[in-house]
A and B are shown apart, each in its own frame.
Chain A
Amino acid sequence: MLKAVILIGGPQKGTRFRPLSFEVPKPLFPVAGVPMIQHHIEACAQVPGMQEILLIGFYQPDEALTRFLDAAQQEFNLPIRYLQEFAPLGTGGGLYHFRDQILAGGPEAFFVLNADVCSDFPLGAMLEAHRRQPRPFLLLGTTANRTQSLNYGCIVENPETHEVLHYVEKPSTFVSDIINCGIYLFSPEALKPLRDVFQRNQQDQQLCLDLGDGSSGSWPGAGTIRLEQDVFTALSGQGQIYVHLTDGIWSQIKSAGSALYASRLYLSRYQLTHPERLAQLIPGGPCIRGNVFIHPTAKVASSAVLGPNVSIGEGVTIGEGVRLRESIVLHGATLQEHTCVLHSIVGWGSTVGRWARVEGTPNDPNPNDPRARMDSESLFRDGKLLPAITILGCRVRIPAEVLILNSIVLPHKELSRSFTNQIIL
């Protein structure tokens, strides 16, 4: 039997996802119409023998998370539990802390998935590789181009055996074009090296205490384990870590811009996995171009033109003559007549007045380079806001006829004029 762990992080993380992460935990942000981690759960639920899915993080369990878990358990008929860390424990600390829960029932192996990745999750192929030759750690790897690889964990493998010979997290010079996807399959033995790191950290902490460094209470290392540096880097080349390469879809979801890109990847994948989620051209319905998700409760006028890559959330109202392309419109937002929304995310309950134009600039990977990935997703360069997708936070009001270009509008803001290249507090 198998289990899966999804590492969902906590509110201190995901700052690059602001202002959208103010309203909903980032793992629940809708990507291609469903919460980000629902894609993970769907992939896990399809693996034969999956017994349980555990979410580990340090979010306070709120109503949204509880509701999501209840709905997901029902839908997939699988125990899905949230295990809350007492403090941020790093990418590996939670796995060690909750080891008893993970190993309860004696799983043959367990998947570990970072929440902020978009992937076609080739879990079946990973499991096959594991069963052919069980190892403590199997990482999913993919390729990136030379410059972009520096933003990721880089893996050097033995091309014959796929053993990981060397692992560096975000190197400053080129190491390898194979990068870590943040998707793993661990055998129960994997917890031994985690225990070693934990104990070593405890000893280090004790040492600090003995030396009279009185800051132990807030010592950041307490219980913290960094899976990448403390485990993968330390254990590479010792026959314990292997990599499984994929050329399927994969992207990080660190910023709002990458959420829009991930939405595009998932929407195109729906043609295979969930054709029922893609809007169809129907008589008297809106014009659909390419892959579009429309929540069944959304009201869309027949003269609207949507797509490609558009996701429309629950209870959204789209007026006559609206144009939407490469955008996400969140729960309860209203786009009045003739608005044009391009490369943007319209926040929950926001209103865009008629003939307004909300437009961003995409920073998608070069489509002509199969190895291209999202660039480092910082908002600024040399103190200037970089042109990026436009984001309207929750309950923002955009008046009629104005232009909001390459801007981020924080929640509950009522604008009265046009803005270009600005963050509007």
Chain B
Amino acid sequence: MKALILVGGYGTRLRPLTLSTPKPLVDFCNKPILLHQVEALVKKAGVNHVILAVSYMSEMLEKEMKEQELRLGIRISLSHEQEPLGTAGPLALARELLTENSDPFFVLNSDIICDFPFAAMAKFHQHHGQEGTIVVTKVEEPSKYGVVVSDTVTGRIHRFVEKPQVFVSNKINAGMYIFSPSVLQRIQLQPTSIEKEIFPVMAKEGQLYAMELAGFWMDIGQPKDFLTGMCLFLQSLRQTQPERLYSGPGIVGNVLVDPSARIGQNCSIGPNVSLGPGVVVEDGVCIKRCTVLRGAHIRSHSWLDSCIVGWSSRVGQWVRMENVTVLGEDVIVGDELYLNGASVLPHKSIGESVPEPRIIM
């Protein structure tokens, strides 16, 4: 089977991290976002060809994908859009690759994280026998999203309602689809929104079914949601693979620690922390609800809550960072500073506190 992943552009919503690394390669819980999806596709649905729809070319991404082809024993193609083609256009661009055989294929938004239900999707799709299946997930406040109204028994989708003011459904598009190749006849090679222009027509024709997702789901395309997604992911690990979580003195709740990371004495790490490879946490540090990326160094007695610490960044002693502070790559935070919701661009050295949320250029 094949899968097309809509990687898209620069990942500006996840800046300043994506100023250094293409979004698919940003580590989420110590694994590149993209690999969470690709590995699940391979393991759960036997996908052997992944097509990445990208609108900008990155050498870093190409190189990494070559390595992953070898590691996973699959084919990974990059389908490059000369101009942004929306969420449907990239399917038309990859038409040849997608129609090499008549198998249905997966399409994924690249920003989502969940317990990927690829095997169940394939089965569900085969069972109803129509052109498309989209995965839906329940949300608490449907009025903020576009919702999917479908038959509770069969899953057949009746209609889509954008930001409903009165309750019609609490299920939203989870950004994961499986299509039969005939869907490509509906899509032209031009900028097109699959959600707004293709799905409503398919629904009207009875060709689109919804499969409800069990378990957690999160769009991690921006830092705030990235951290929420991390909490959900770690909780899911606790249930499915608790042995992957770290335990030891000073560890609180669900914590993921790369084997090469080092933690000092008298620390309090967690709940909901992921420490990447080569990370150093000195003595007396308190970290909760944070992602600390490869090679970062947190000096003693600092306190971090709800932050993303970029690659090779250095956080000084007695620093307090909170409220979705994001440090880009190689940022240096001086001793005794307070960062509240700061978004710090790469290679920046900070010598003054940031008491209110702002961007540090």
Contacting pair B355 A321 (CB below 8 A): no
Taking the closest CB of chain B, its distance from the CB of A261, in whole angstroms, is 19
Residue A401 at the chain B interface, CB threshold 8 Å: yes
| Smallest Cβ-Cβ distance to A421: which chain B residue | B355
Selected contact of A323 from candidates B266, B301, B355, CB within 8 Å: B301
Selected contact of B355 from candidates A320, A355, A401, A405, CB within 8 Å: A405
Once the chains are docked, how many angstroms separate the CA of A401 from the CA of B318?
Answer: 12
Q: In terms of DSSP, what is the predominant structure of the interface of chain B?
A: loop
Proximity bits, B279-310, A CB within 8 Å = 1, else 0:
00001101000000000000011010100000
Contacts of A354 in B (CB 8 A): 286
Taking the closest CB of chain A, its distance from the CB of B306, in whole angstroms, is 12
Contacts of A39 in B (CB 8 A): none
Given the interface pairs A320-B266, A337-B266, the reply to whether A401 lies near B300 with Cβ below 8 Å is no
Residue A331 at the chain B interface, CB threshold 8 Å: no
Contacting pair A420 B355 (CB below 8 A): yes
Given the interface pairs A320-B266, A323-B318, A357-B320, the reply to whether A342 lies near B336 with Cβ below 8 Å is yes
Contacting pair B284 A340 (CB below 8 A): no
- Chain A CB within 10 A, most for which of B268, B284, B305, B318: B318
Contacts of A244 in B (CB 8 A): none
Contacting pair A323 B284 (CB below 8 A): no
Contacts of B322 in A (CB 8 A): 403
Once the chains are docked, how many angstroms separate the CA of A405 from the CA of B320?
Answer: 12
Selected contact of A355 from candidates B283, B303, B317, B336, CB within 8 Å: B303
Selected contact of B317 from candidates A320, A323, A401, CB within 8 Å: A323
Once the chains are docked, how many angstroms separate the CA of A405 from the CA of B300?
Answer: 21
| Smallest Cβ-Cβ distance to A357: which chain B residue | B320
Contacts of B305 in A (CB 8 A): 401
Contacting pair B266 A403 (CB below 8 A): no
Taking the closest CB of chain B, its distance from the CB of A405, in whole angstroms, is 7
Once the chains are docked, how many angstroms separate the CA of A342 from the CA of B317?
Answer: 13
Once the chains are docked, how many angstroms separate the CA of A359 from the CA of B318?
Answer: 12
Contacting pair A340 B318 (CB below 8 A): yes
A residues whose Cβ falls under 8 Å from a Cβ of B:
303, 305, 320-321, 323, 325, 337-338, 340, 342, 354-355, 357, 359, 401, 403, 405, 420
A-B contact pairs, 14 of them (CB 8 A): A320-B284, A321-B284, A323-B301, A323-B336, A337-B266, A337-B284, A338-B284, A342-B336, A355-B286, A355-B301, A357-B320, A357-B338, A401-B286, A403-B320
Given A338-B284, A357-B320, A359-B338, 9 other A-B residues pairs in contact with their CB atoms under 8 A = A305-B317, A321-B266, A337-B284, A338-B303, A338-B318, A340-B336, A357-B338, A401-B286, A405-B338
